[in-house]
Structure 1
Amino acid sequence: MKKLINYFHPLAQLERARQTRLAESNLPDAVRELISEPYPHPETKLYDLEFLVFDLETTGLNPEQDRILSIGFLQIQQFRVDIQSSSHTYVKSDTDIKAESAVINHIVPEMLTEGLSLDEAMDNLFRAMKGKVLIAHGTMVEKEFIDNYLQQRYGIEPLPLIWLDTLAMEKSLMRNQNDTQTGDYRLSAVRERHNLPPYLAHNALADSIATGELFLVLIKIIFGKTIPTIGRLIKPVN
């Protein structure tokens, strides 16, 4: 029975999908390198894994119409946020920035003049993602922009990557605590609920650090002193 459960576990499914994708002949080198390492077994302790927390600041939420302005990320190793691994990159572009997005994320055209090209910035992100479990607060935006980039740039379908979402973790925690009062799951609001200090919002690196800290706090609240396995966070489909 244990082997049957593991076979159908999402991580086992992702690993099989990873192997299938590696066999494709049209994968660009940066993408092939990204998924070159085997994914962890569901019983692997979180303490033994490496995580990449990242955030994309964009001009909007539609990857078909909007674009990436900046990318921030850093690693978590042995349950510690590694500030030395942090990176913050502006993405160069010749198109105008929407006034409304500049108000939200405080990124103006002058900041982008010395930025990297989108291909360079994404290659850096992919290198950092290799061998990591990915963490974001509300992963939908990051997923959709990465998927759109892969489709537009290389003509390939979404990759089987391992994602953890602190927004989803907070929602699950609230449900388990029968808390029906709060509906605010913004990163700043969730941090405030857990007595974490405020950070500069809508800055890709600051949001990455804030999300990494929140992830560690949520793990402690949900699991206590027990160090859980990755399989307990990425649960089998019923």
Structure 2
Amino acid sequence: MNPFAFLSSLGIDRPPLDDDQRRRLRRLPTAPHLDSRPLHAQRFVVLDLETTGLNVERDVVLSIGAVLIENDAIDLSRQFECTLRRRLKSVTESVLIHGIAPSALAVGTAPAEALLRFMEYAGDCVFLAFHAPFDQRMLGRALKDELGYRLRHPFLDVADLAPMLFPEALVHPGGLDQWIQYFGLDMSRRHHAAADALATAEIALILFNRARRTGLDNMAELGERAARWQRARRAVQHSL
């Protein structure tokens, strides 16, 4: 007998939001802009998603892990972790890597409620993630599908900020594991949303300290510098 036979579909049943959920959705704060405030004054939410795969059009979010950075510190008392209720047709390699048991998916939080709770937690933050475009697109699609909500929050990509601010590391292109090793961080658990978010947050604090020492203590300037760095990198790649 296939132990995953009860996961017979992709979990796309979407009951309408109830009155309380609609009220909570309307109360979500307006997304911020990257402005001139210094880094220590900005509220960051460091996000990591575990998904069924890497296809941003087809795969779905399985779990959300996040930590909060405020006043140049990680607030460990306010971490976010949630497994979404899913019924999968098959267990993919990504699911096995994440180690999320089918039983955990079966009793997880309804996707709409999980995403609403997460956006209430996120509030008016700037999001940070490692390979942020993937998380941004996956989260944006999930919010649109489940809540009819358009994600407008700014994202900064730690995978770009790290080699931009530490070119001497010669890590780029590199993954989260390589940067954990380079900075000598002690991370015993990986491929788990909450643990990966915490690792990314610790790297982000190191990057913000380097940014300040190079005169980048401004959200708008850091975002613009990162955008220029990305454009320059793409131009080099296209010329090869």
- What's the TM-score once normalised by structure 2's chain length? 0.76
Bigger mean CA deviation after superposition, 193-202 or 227-236: 227-236
Give the AA of the match of 2:127: L
Structure 1 contact 33–130 (Cα < 8 Å) conserved = no
The aligned residue for residue 65 of structure 2 is 72
For residues 217 and 78 of structure 1, what CA distance do their matches in structure 2 show? 14
| Structure 2 counterpart of 1:11 | none
RMSD: 2.5
The offset of 1:57, in angstroms, is: 0.1
Gaps of 5+ in 2: 1-21, 229-240
With over 3 angstroms needed to count, the CA separation of the structure-2 counterparts of 1:153 and 1:115, relative to structure 1, is closer
Match of 1:160 in 2: 152
Please state how far the C-alpha of 1:95 moved relative to its aligned partner.
Answer: 1.9
Going from structure 1 to structure 2, the CA distance change for 1:83 and 1:226 (only over 3 Å counts) comes to farther
Report the residue type matching 1:94 in the other structure. Answer: R
Displacement of 1:219 in angstroms is 1.4
User: Could you tell me how far 1:129 is from its partner in structure 2?
Assistant: 1.7
Q: How does 1:46-61 map to 2 (within 5 A)?
A: 46-61=39-54
2:67 corresponds to which letter in structure 1? L
Pair 1:232 & 2:221 matched: yes
**Over 3 Å off, 4+ runs:** 28-35, 153-156, 181-184
Quick one: distance in 2 between partners of 1:198 and 1:154? 34
The amino acid of 2:206's aligned partner reads: V
Give the aligned partner of residue 103 of structure 1: 96
CA distance in 1, matches of 2:182, 2:119: 33
Map 1:13-92 to 2 at 5 A.
Answer: 32-36=26-30, 39=32, 42-92=35-85
| Alignment counterpart, residue 131 of structure 2, candidates 138, 151, 160 | 138
- CA distance, structure 2, for counterparts of residue 146 and residue 214 of structure 1: 22
Q: Deviation of residue 29 (structure 1)? A: 5.3
Q: Deviations over 1:94-126 (max 9, x none)?
A: 224524123311112012122101111110111
The Cα offsets for residues 121-141 of structure 1, whole Å up to 9 and x where unpaired, read as 110111112111111111122
Separation (CA, whole Å) in 2 of partners of 1:225 and 1:184: 22
Shift of 1:185: 1.9
Tell me, yes or no, if the aligned pair for 2:60 and 2:142 is still in contact at 8 Å: no
CA distance in 2, matches of 1:114, 1:128: 22
Sequence identity, in percent?
24
Residue 206 of structure 2 is matched in structure 1 by: 217
Q: How far apart in 1 are the matches of 2:34 and 2:155? A: 15
Normalised TM-score (structure 1): 0.76
Corresponding residue pairs, total = 206
Is residue 89–residue 121 contact of structure 1 (8 Å, CA) maintained in 2? yes
Contact 1:135/1:164 (<8 A) preserved: yes
